[in-house]
Structure 1
Amino acid sequence: MARPKSEDKRLALLEAAKEAVAESGLGAATSLIAKKAGVAEGTLFRYFATKDELLNALYLHLKTGLGKMMMENYHPDASVKERVRTVWSGFIDWGLISPTGSKAMRQLAVSDKVTEETLQKVAQLYPELHELANACVTSEFFSCGQSAFADAIFFSLAETTMEFASRDPLEAGNYKTAGFEVMWRAMTKG
């Protein structure tokens, strides 16, 4: 009879995968991930049948935490600019709290490992965020007109903001505000 799976072990494997991907990229060995989690490599494959399954679970895990942070102060009735500002602030705050998570998510986001099914699950987690992103890209707000391009601009400016905010925590709020204003002006028509 197979032993029941533990949620603690599953989370430990996801945290270990986050660290390994942040440090070594998507080529991080499953043996390294298992070692970081304090389990045998065979145990990893009891929880995740393949490495790709693990990477997709990691992406979903990271996006869940990020989405929770971005939704903390989200008000659906606020103006588009204020909703985007809230998302921006939550994203920056999450990146400052979880730099390894941010780095791992960037690796996963540009890979071909994240499946369409996982992307759909992410969109369903926080539909307000998905709708806001689509509304911004397809409306008069973002002049670049393409979601992938808009995402790349957003993430590049966010990474720069996080880098400077982490170097000088006393000025983090000012960097977050300035980064948002640069992003907003760069991406809106006007």
Structure 2
Amino acid sequence: MARPRSEEKREAILTAATELIATHGLGAATAEIAKRAHVPHGSVFTYFGTKAELLNTLYVELKTELIEALWDQMPDSDDMRTRLAHLWTNWTNWGVANPAKRRVLAQLGVSDQITDQSREAAFAVASEVVKLVRGVGIHGALREAPPAYIGALAETMAGTTMDFMSRDPANAETIREAGFAGLWRAIS
């Protein structure tokens, strides 16, 4: 009889994968991931049948973590600007606090190893965020643009904002506010 899988080992593998992909890219070896996670190499494949499955799981879990952070303590307000500003603040805070996770998400986001199913799962998790952004942009210049395009623009603006906030912590709040003003003008 097979032993039950340990959630701690699974999380250790995902954490190790995040750390190694952030520093070595998607080519990080599963043997190194196992070593960093303090599990036998075969355990990686016990929990994730293939490296591609590991990458897809990591992608969905990191996207889910990010979306949960964005939505955390969302104000119960009808004012779209207030809600979008809250989302922006949480997003930039998460990105500055989690640079390795942010790097990994960026790499996974453009990887051909991430399946359409995983991308759809991540998009489904983000449905409330997408709905908010579409609501803001319903009368704006981008009102006819596909949601994925608007999301990509917002991600680029957020990434640039996070980079500059990280480089200049003394002016991080000013940078965040300028980034939000740009986002608001772009989509509203």
Kindly indicate whether the alpha-carbon contact (under 8 Å) linking 2:81 and 2:136 is maintained by their aligned counterparts in 1: no
User: For each residue in 1:95-151, what CA deviation from the matched residue of structure 2 results, as whole angstroms up to 9, or x when unmatched?
Assistant: 1111000010011112222223223333443542232244456x2235271333322
Letter in 2 for 1:31: A
Alignment correspondent of 1:89: 89
- Measured in 2, the distance between the counterparts of 1:7 and 1:152 equals 33
- Measured in 2, the distance between the counterparts of 1:25 and 1:142 equals 37
Deviates more, 1:4-13 or 1:164-173: 164-173
Kindly indicate whether the alpha-carbon contact (under 8 Å) linking 1:66 and 1:90 is maintained by their aligned counterparts in 2: no
Matched, 1:181 2:172: no
Kindly indicate whether the alpha-carbon contact (under 8 Å) linking 1:15 and 1:37 is maintained by their aligned counterparts in 2: yes
- Measured in 2, the distance between the counterparts of 1:141 and 1:101 equals 32
Cα distance, 1:29–1:96 mapped onto 2, change above 3 Å? same
> What SS is found at the alignment partner of 1:2?
coil
Deviates more, 1:122-131 or 1:17-26: 122-131
Alignment correspondent of 1:158: 158
Cα distance, 1:142–1:24 mapped onto 2, change above 3 Å? farther
- Measured in 2, the distance between the counterparts of 1:155 and 1:124 equals 17
Alignment correspondent of 1:141: 140
> Cα offset for 1:9?
0.7
Task: Give the alignment's TM-score, normalised by structure 2.
Answer: 0.88
Alignment correspondent of 1:36: 36
Alignment correspondent of 2:98: 98
- Measured in 2, the distance between the counterparts of 1:135 and 1:111 equals 30
- Measured in 2, the distance between the counterparts of 1:181 and 1:64 equals 26
Cα distance, 1:76–1:26 mapped onto 2, change above 3 Å? farther
- Measured in 1, the distance between the counterparts of 2:24 and 2:65 equals 22
> What SS is found at the alignment partner of 1:26?
coil
* Structure 2, unaligned runs of 5 or more: none
> Cα offset for 1:51?
1.0
Kindly indicate whether the alpha-carbon contact (under 8 Å) linking 2:130 and 2:147 is maintained by their aligned counterparts in 1: no
Alignment correspondent of 1:62: 62
- Measured in 2, the distance between the counterparts of 1:151 and 1:20 equals 27
> Cα offset for 1:25?
2.0
Letter in 1 for 2:30: T
> Cα offset for 1:33?
1.4
- Measured in 1, the distance between the counterparts of 2:136 and 2:50 equals 36
Letter in 1 for 2:139: E
Q: Percent identity?
A: 39
> What SS is found at the alignment partner of 1:112?
coil
- Measured in 2, the distance between the counterparts of 1:130 and 1:153 equals 13
Cα distance, 1:187–1:134 mapped onto 2, change above 3 Å? closer
- Root mean square deviation, CA, Å: 2.1
Alignment correspondent of 1:50: 50
* Structure 1, unaligned runs of 5 or more: none
